[in-house]
Each structure stands twice: as structure tokens, then as C-alpha cells.
Structure 1
Amino acid sequence: MAALSKLDDWRRSEVFGQLVRFAIAGGITTAIYTVVYSPLAKYRITSEQVANLAGYLVAMVSGYLIHSRWSFRGHGADAGQTTKRFFAVSLVSYGANTLWVWLLTDDAMLAGPWWWPLVPVLFVTPLVTFMLNRLWVFA
């Protein structure tokens, strides 16, 4: 009974609401990244790394707008500081996704298909960026 009460308290907490909004906004942003990255990489219009960069740039701009105005609205920091910090976290995100693309698709590494990096891009990178956004960018 106490565990259910704690779970209900957590569900009503500010962090839970932010996590849900972040998941939705992050899903939209990740979908945008995927829509840009996938055709470029799948049809070999460019290399996977250039496709990753293109996806990152489009997702970064849309992600900032969505997260600052919805996911973490009213959470704290001023806009000037938030913008710089968000850009720093987006570089961490870009670095992580670049690592996934290199590790999973590069001929010198695992040489997997173009879509392999999408797995950690969808499930690992968002967890890292949520924590950094919550604890540092929009704190």
C-alpha cells in the first residue's frame, strides 16, 4: 500500500510531467532526425556521417523550440543561459549519435546496415539528454 502511494506521488510530481513531455517532444525530435537521416543513408545520397550531421542540425533546432517551450517550460534558467547550455547538450547528443553511426556502420568497425544506429539513437541518447536537460540546461 505504501509503495502504491509513493508511486502515485511520483506520478503527480513535476519530474514525472517533465519526463512525459520530454518523451513526447523527444519522440517528435527523434522522428525528425530519423526522417532526415534515413533516406540520406539508406539510398546512399551521402555517407552515414553526413546524414547524421544533417539529421542533428534539423533535430537540434526543432528540439530546442519544443523543449524550451513545452517540455521544461517554467522550470528555471533564463533564455540566454538556457540556449548556450542546450547547444552544449546537443553537442553531447551529436557526439553520442556520431559514435553510434561510426561504431555500427563504419567498414572498419561493425559494418552494419544504415539503420543499426537508430536503435541507440532512439533508446540511449534520449536518456542521457533528458538528464542533462533536466539537471543542467533548464534547471
Structure 2
Amino acid sequence: MKRETIQTPSPVAAERQVLFGQLVRYAITGGAVTALGTAAYGAFVAFTAMDPMLAVFLAYVICVAVGYVVHSRWSFRGHGRRDNPARTTGRFFAVSLVSYLLNSAFTWVLTKGLGGPDWWPVIPMLFVTPLATFALNRRWVFN
């Protein structure tokens, strides 16, 4: 009878597994927060006479509050140090500001600069901004 040995993953494989888990959790929660933000933006511009630039700011405020809670408690749970909540919170808000600036730039360029419809910025808001903020959150905020 052959004896089975249990192999533990190498440190590189273990790190990839952790990264993949974070990416999946971030995709779920980040996707939900992004959907919330784009829905809020869409509702503001569709159902009010609100300027798209104000709409993207209000959507940002909503998403920052929700995003901090879900990303710190679930997306990056167990990742990095949690010994300095003020540093983590400050960095999270800095990354959120980068997110806001990206979405504002997309909104301005696509609606004002190119004269496109109000829904155009939703595309990069869904596919570009989340990838940039995942990288910043993982490497700098929750490290």
C-alpha cells in the first residue's frame, strides 16, 4: 500500500492563491460598489437636471463610504498590517480620490470634450478604474 503525502504549496503558489482570493473578493465587492456608483451617476443624470460632473462627485461620495467598509473587512481581510487604522483610512481615501479623479476625467473628456452622451463614462468607470484601484489598494492601502 502506498503512503500518501500531503504537499504544501510553495510560498509563490500560496501567494498566488491569496492574490487570486483577494481579486475574486474585490471583483465581487468592487463590482457591487462600482455598480452602485454607476447606477447613482446614471440616476442623477437621467432623472434630474444635474450636471454630469456633479453627478460623478455625488456617486463618488456614496461609493467611498460603502467601499471602505466592504474592502477593509472582506476584500483584503487578513492582508497586511492593521496596526494603524488612521494610516489605512487615510490611504484608502487617497486611493478613492484617485478613483474620483479618473472617473471625473473620463466624464469630462467623454461628455464635455468629445460631446458624447452621458452614458459613455460608464464604460471606463466599470473596466478601467476598478483595476487601477485594486492595484493601489493591495500594494499601498492594505499592505
TM-score (norm 2): 0.86
**Equivalent pair of 2:110/2:121 in contact (CA under 8 Å):** yes
Bigger Cα Rg:
2
**Equivalent pair of 1:10/1:16 in contact (CA under 8 Å):** no
Q: Give unpaired runs (5+ residues) of structure 1.
A: 1-8
**Equivalent pair of 2:38/2:125 in contact (CA under 8 Å):** no
Residue 70 of structure 1: aligned partner: 74
The CA RMSD measured in Å over matched residues stands at 1.7
TM-score (norm 1): 0.88
Q: Percent identity?
A: 51
* Residue type of the alignment partner of 2:140: W
Residue 88 of structure 1: aligned partner: 94
Within a 5 Å distance, the mapping from 1:43-58 to structure 2 comes to 43-58=47-62
Residue 21 of structure 2: aligned partner: 17
Residue 126 of structure 1: aligned partner: 130
Using the alignment, how far apart are the partners of 2:70 and 2:124 within structure 1?
22
Using the alignment, how far apart are the partners of 1:80 and 1:57 within structure 2?
19
Q: State the number of aligned residues.
A: 130
Residue 105 of structure 1: aligned partner: 111
